[in-house]
Structure 1
Amino acid sequence: MTPVDFFFDPGCPYTWRTSRWIADVADAGAAAVTWRLMSLSVLNEGKEIPEEYRPVMAQNVRVLRVLAAVEDNDARARLFTALGTRRHEQGADYDDDTIAAAVAEAGLPDETVKAADDEAFDALVRASHDDAQAAVGQEAGSPILRVGGKAWFGPVVVPVPEREEGLRLFEAVRLLADVPSFSELKGSRNPF
């Protein structure tokens, strides 16, 4: 299995779809994924954020704290899946009820929910975010995928590819990671 770091902001719908791809690649035995945090709020500090996005960004900060409180990688993956399913597939806000239901579904202690309002976890989120940015070597959004010593923004996949197509995509990414001179590939995004 190829070790992969997947840096994600749980509020990004493109990241959610890409996370389902890399989770399926891991389920197929092709990758060992470490679920790492990054923050679009941190990325956009000091920038003008349109008013309509501010409440969502505030919700994401709280959810990132809860995810940061979960140190076990498998538990973090379960929690992200429970949260993301509610947010990105069922249209729920990241409110207290959604967070509590996701924590319960992930099999985590009830007190995990309290991390949402604990600013002490902001330092862990920021440290992981900074690691993601350093890995890419420039400012980059969510998701960031690191394969070996190489990291990129993306890939962004919409819709989530079926298993065989997803494994081919992962093999291509893995091969690109072995080419030291390769740095970027970008195209237009598919609509949802």
Structure 2
Amino acid sequence: MSATMWFDPSCPFTWRTSRWLRAEAAARDEKVSWRLMSLAVLNEDRDDVPGRYREAHRRAARVLRVLAASAADGGDEAVDALYTELGTRVHDNGGDWDDRTVQQALTAAGLPAGLAAAADDGAWDEAVRASHDEGQARVGQESGTPVVAFGDARGFFGPILTAVPTGEEASRLYDGVAALSTVTAFSELKRARD
């Protein structure tokens, strides 16, 4: 079975989900396809989004352009490598979504340094929006990040993880989420975050 994950790189919960999904899929010799999702696009017509989130969305939009250019240059492997380097620097090590971080992440991921120029190239916005729209269509309604789908089954928002599960817990979660994705009548589960 293959998994597809639509992500906005700025979300720390999505980062945790991506680390779990990536590790568990690899342990099963399965593939994860990485697709882009944009909280800026999701919230562009909303007036109730606080300014600090708008600024975070603006910074993430620049990074999403670089990820889109990386996808065009090297496919899923490039997106995986770059997202891993970016997320490690920002979510794990407290870095900023700035040009220096992007350049360092590109270098560490073994990708062409010139891809950084995509951050200021609005031509990549169309690719980001198309990927975003594809993910929203898989969910069937407007939803946040991440969106996960297994095989050809409908996608869903989540799972939202407060920590990265490991071992048997990670495996049970993968099996459960994959199983739920095949149940056409399944819609939603939710509980409070710790």
Name the TM-score, length of structure 2 as normaliser: 0.94
Counterpart for residue 188 of structure 1:
192
Counterpart residue identity of residue 62, structure 2: R
Deviation at 1:55, TM superposition (A): 2.3
Which 5+ residue runs of structure 2 have no aligned equivalent?
none
Deviations 1:13-42 (A, max 9, x none): 110111111011122025310000000000
What SS is found at the alignment partner of 1:92?
Answer: coil
Counterpart residue identity of residue 159, structure 1: A
Pairing partner for 1:152 from 147, 151, 156: 156
Pairing partner for 2:174 from 170, 175, 181: 170
Total equivalences in the alignment: 189
What SS is found at the alignment partner of 2:15?
Answer: helix
Query: Percent identity, aligned pairs only?
Result: 49
Deviations 1:21-73 (A, max 9, x none): 10111220253100000000000011122122232211100000000001210
Distance 1:51 1:126 in 2: 22
Aligned CA-pair RMSD: 1.1
Pairing partner for 2:128 from 116, 120, 125: 125
Deviation at 1:132, TM superposition (A): 0.6
Distance 1:177 1:152 in 2: 8
The within-5 A match list for 1:135-150 is 135-148=138-151, 149-150=153-154
Distance 1:135 1:73 in 2: 19
Distance 1:152 1:57 in 2: 22
Deviation at 1:147, TM superposition (A): 1.2
Name the TM-score, length of structure 1 as normaliser: 0.95
Query: 8 Å contact 2:150–2:181 — kept in the other structure?
Result: yes
The within-5 A match list for 1:1-192 is 2-29=1-28, 31-48=30-47, 49-71=49-71, 72-148=75-151, 149-190=153-194
Distance 2:44 2:96 in 1: 22
Query: 8 Å contact 1:24–1:163 — kept in the other structure?
Result: no
Which 5+ residue runs of structure 1 have no aligned equivalent?
none
